[in-house]
Chain A
Amino acid sequence: MATLAAAPGRPAVRQRSLSSKARWARRAPLLPALVFTVVVTQVPFLATIVISTLHWNVLKPGEKSFAAFSNYKTVATDDRLRTAVVNTVVLTASVVLLSLAIGLGLAVLLDRRFPGRGLARTLLIAPFLVMPAASALIWKHMIYNPDYGLLNGVLNAVAKVYGGHGPSIAWVSAHPMPAVVVSQVWQWTPFMMLILLAGLQAQPGDVLEAARVDGAKGLDTFRYITLPHLRQYLELATLLGSIYILQTFDAIFTITQGGPGTATTNLPYEIYQTMFRKYEYGEAAAAGVVVVIGTIIVATFALRVISSLFREEQGA
């Protein structure tokens, strides 16, 4: 609608009068990408749906048979899977909210001009750029290790100053979920910060100036002008972040292997285990379909947010 209004009598009319040959010439550059994407992403998804209706365990060849919805029933009633759903929600929600809050704080701090601001920004994005598998290993062995990890090391050093003795906590086994959450918050905060900082810097200066002239205090300006302006950016960061964090695999695989027990098994890791440890292909596929449905619910909101940004651009 915006396009139609924006260009009266130009592309709209021209498009209608195009011959079918011209229309195909227009589509031609799009087709390779479209065909590739349909083949590589939609075919596996259809296959997942088909496999999810089969009894299929690789360890029991010859017992492959049609199962209708029984895999879905298993998925719905299995305790492990229910735990995995809860863990996924806890992990995703806490990582998104914490990294968003810290990211906002950092973005506000970095929006000011101060000595070495450029360098600070560069250092701050490093956690996001370090290979996720590498940072998972670093957190597990260098920071959380009970004997020589940085965390206990620093606590011990501080305790020594006061003449005491620091703790020797095995962080990963004692507090598995917080350990994973902290490492992920560390990794994702820069992502949130970058998007929110872009939002802050896109604030029209004259509005802020006017607010200042009108005598608004810093906090009021933030609450009533900056936050509403940032809303779209906050939404975008939340939704893109959720979609990536929902899929967390590297950190779980490396730091806790889903344990102890199932304390940190999230859905991706549970599906991986069903597939490559239990070899229950049908069940894994059904769980996969359920994850896709869950993600589509989140993604629907995401698309609405992104399309609002999109519409703004079209109108501009």
Chain B
Amino acid sequence: MSTTLDASTETVRPATAGGSTRRRLPRRTKEPDLAARGGMAWTVLAWLLTLLFFAPVAWMVLTSFHKEADAATNPPSVFAPLTGANYSALFDRDVMPFLVNSATASIVSTLLVLVLAVPAAYALSIKKVEKWTDVMFFFLSTKFLPAIAALLPVYLIVKHLGMLDNVYTLVILYTSMNLPIALWMMRSFLAEVPVEILEAAQMDGAGLLRVLWNVVRPVVMPGLAATALICFIFSWNEFMFAVNLTATRSSTAPVFLVGFISSEGLFLAKLCAAATLVSLPVLIAGFAAQDKLVRGLSLGAVK
């Protein structure tokens, strides 16, 4: 590639140090103007499609507050009286252990991922090891191996170790599932720490730990939170390992949900309550951090 181009961007860099150059790209300045030309029709269409996509979620939440008799009617009843009975029935049915298992598996594995990924991302971005791109691609390639192909050996190994139906088995599997994603994300966040600031701090005699804590930490905190969120979402929603490697003691929320129907017959309103309840943590977290979601989902490749 052209050396001149690269060299010129390098000379420009100090001027924009401290902030990403991308963020300073000129945005569309005449947005309201363009929108006005598009007119109402597009706005209406956008909202219609949005409501169409959201309808199943809305219907699920609404039905979860209906009585069973009102839930399964044809045509569907929108204005039936509301009740919280389905939710209290869920807790009577001991949904708690499943939620606790899910929380344990998701939170512990997320912490473990961060403990492993943050130092590794540091070694791949700030003080780079040699061949760091190869290392990055090795990690990513493990993400491309279909989990189902690993299920059999994992099942046999776990069985041999006596760790079937153990929530920490899930912790380890979820950690390996999310580590590559976290590593890629954290690398892209750490790469944004301006080298000049690091060097200046070191020149002032700050030790490594001080630099990390006082300079690097504040810059990457939002990125760290986004990474944790993505890992949490994928772990919380994981189904295949959970359903095949757990039984009674360590089943997670998705397994509870799917077992719900086979054990009780179909109670639509209760099913909706259960589905809403187990989806709630991820829905809340995802809504709260939706702008960070994109970067996580694209492994940090898209900002």
Binding site for B on A (CB under 8 A): 1-2, 5-8, 11, 15, 23, 26-30, 32-34, 36-37, 40-45, 47-48, 51, 105-106, 109-110, 112-117, 120-135, 137-139, 141-143, 147-148, 150, 152-154, 156-157, 160, 186, 189-191, 194-195, 197-199, 201-206, 208-209, 218, 233, 236, 240, 243, 246-247, 249-250, 253-254, 267-268, 271-272, 275-276, 281, 284-285, 288-289, 291-292, 295-296, 298-299, 302-303, 306-307, 309-310, 313, 315-316
User: CB of B93 within 8 A of chain A?
Assistant: no
Known: A45-B149, A121-B290. 9 other contacts (CB 8 A): A11-B128, A33-B117, A41-B142, A47-B157, A130-B282, A131-B275, A132-B237, A134-B60, A137-B275
Asked if residues B56 and A250 are in contact (CB atoms below 8 Å), the reply is: no
Chain B residue, CB-CB nearest to A143: B56
Asked if residues A37 and B139 are in contact (CB atoms below 8 Å), the reply is: yes
Asked if residues A47 and B153 are in contact (CB atoms below 8 Å), the reply is: yes
Asked if residues B120 and A32 are in contact (CB atoms below 8 Å), the reply is: yes
Across-interface contacts of A123 in B (CB, < 8 A): 50-51, 53-54, 57
Question: In whole angstroms, what is the CA distance A38 to B287 when docked?
Answer: 34
Asked if residues B176 and A124 are in contact (CB atoms below 8 Å), the reply is: no
User: CB of B79 within 8 A of chain A?
Assistant: no
CB distance from B65 to the nearest CB of A (A): 14
* Interface segment, one of B39-47, B80-88, B217-225: B39-47
Asked if residues B57 and A130 are in contact (CB atoms below 8 Å), the reply is: yes
Across-interface contacts of B152 in A (CB, < 8 A): 48, 51, 275, 281, 284-285, 288
Binding site for A on B (CB under 8 A): 1, 3, 5-7, 9-10, 21-22, 25-32, 34-35, 37-38, 42-43, 45-47, 49-51, 53-57, 59-60, 63, 71-76, 115-117, 119-120, 122-124, 127-130, 133, 135, 137-157, 172-173, 175-176, 179-180, 183, 188, 191, 233, 236-237, 239-240, 243-244, 253-254, 257-258, 261, 266, 268, 271-272, 274-276, 278-279, 282-283, 286-287, 290, 293-294, 297-299, 301-303
Across-interface contacts of A133 in B (CB, < 8 A): 237, 239, 254, 257-258
Question: In whole angstroms, what is the CA distance A144 to B287 when docked?
Answer: 28
Interface pairs (17), CB distance under 8 Å: A27-B123, A32-B119, A121-B290, A122-B287, A126-B283, A133-B258, A134-B274, A137-B258, A138-B56, A141-B268, A153-B75, A195-B302, A201-B27, A236-B301, A268-B146, A288-B150, A291-B149
Across-interface contacts of A310 in B (CB, < 8 A): 133, 301
| Known A131-B236, A133-B254; contact A113-B35, beta-carbon cutoff 8 A | yes
CB distance from B277 to the nearest CB of A (A): 9
Asked if residues A137 and B271 are in contact (CB atoms below 8 Å), the reply is: yes
Asked if residues A32 and B31 are in contact (CB atoms below 8 Å), the reply is: no
Across-interface contacts of B63 in A (CB, < 8 A): 142
Question: In whole angstroms, what is the CA distance A208 to B301 when docked?
Answer: 23
Asked if residues B154 and A44 are in contact (CB atoms below 8 Å), the reply is: yes
CB distance from A117 to the nearest CB of B (A): 8
Across-interface contacts of B28 in A (CB, < 8 A): 203, 205, 208-209
| Known A114-B43, A134-B254, A292-B146; contact A30-B303, beta-carbon cutoff 8 A | no
| Known A36-B116, A272-B148; contact A306-B153, beta-carbon cutoff 8 A | no
Question: In whole angstroms, what is the CA distance A272 to B271 when docked?
Answer: 26
Question: In whole angstroms, what is the CA distance A236 to B55 when docked?
Answer: 28
Across-interface contacts of A29 in B (CB, < 8 A): 119-120, 122-123
Asked if residues B120 and A271 are in contact (CB atoms below 8 Å), the reply is: no
B151 is contacted by which of A5, A143, A275 (Cβ under 8 Å)? Answer: A275
CB distance from B286 to the nearest CB of A (A): 4
Across-interface contacts of B282 in A (CB, < 8 A): 129-131
Asked if residues B290 and A122 are in contact (CB atoms below 8 Å), the reply is: yes
| Known A7-B10, A247-B148, A253-B258; contact A129-B139, beta-carbon cutoff 8 A | no
